[in-house]
Structure 1
Amino acid sequence: MSATTNYRLEDRLTLRSGGPVLDLLDGATLNGTGGRPRWDVELNGYVNYGLFNLGLYGRVQGPTRIRSDIAASDLRFSGRTWLVLYSFLKVDKILDRPWTKGLNVNVTVENLLNDRINVTDRNGDTPNRFQPAYLDPIGRSVRVGVRKLF
């Protein structure tokens, strides 16, 4: 099990000498999709019992903001909780056959909570470009995979 946290006291960028300073923690942005979160936490845990393996990865980040004098361009981005549950099963421990050696079945659930970033402007509206389904079109996803080592 591991946990890592970041708390940024300062995050500024000067594009050229003598030019303006962009404060990414206080409303400046490089790509138009939010500034830098002041804090974030990453968690990773893994349990192995016999033939079952189960793990959980998580990332929680704080809210961000893009500041503007125009109300429709002054944007607030909510925080986000991203959880990924993953598991794999070693088939050769269940079925003792020559063809099962090195065969794994994987199951992954990404964005377990189906959490999406919500964006609002100063008026409380969500601009069309920042609708949650546009920012994260997949949402929660479940994947099943089979892997064979030869």
Structure 2
Amino acid sequence: MTSSSHHINNALKVRGGDETPSFRPYLPHTLAIRDSLMIAHSFHSHPSFGPAGGMHGATYTVDVEFASSTLHKECNWVIDIGLASELVADVLKEYNYKNLDEIFGDGVMTTTEFMCRVIHEGVAKKLKERGEMNADELFDGWIKVTLWESHKAWGSYEGPV
């Protein structure tokens, strides 16, 4: 077990039968990628969302942070910046310039917080797929996804890969 895995496993606790991180482990090394995403969606006229309940657009600034307890033995990086940029872009293109109501189906509330989790899961999946093909590209650590709706409002989702 690697040092990052040890720290992450120590941060897990069982809650409701699921292993859910109870806190972010100490991972001092971070690389962050910034990109953007333009979407359309609605909140299906739900009264809790006021005017945003109807169809509208959103432009997100997307930050994806990769954190690890150690640096790559040979390259001294958390993750290759080119690979990280490519993975994030690949996930975002699934949603960019699209109507999330059509992608996720009727009734799904595609909030900022929901999309943070969806993007996190997409990046983690792509990392695992790449790592299976090339062990040198394995990333062992923690990912945090932040979607900025504006300079005043944002949401985040974070967890282990």
| TM-score, scaled to structure 2 | 0.28
| TM-score, scaled to structure 1 | 0.29
Q: Which protein is richer in strand relative to its size? A: 1
Larger Rg: 1 or 2?
1
Q: Which protein is richer in helix relative to its size? A: 2
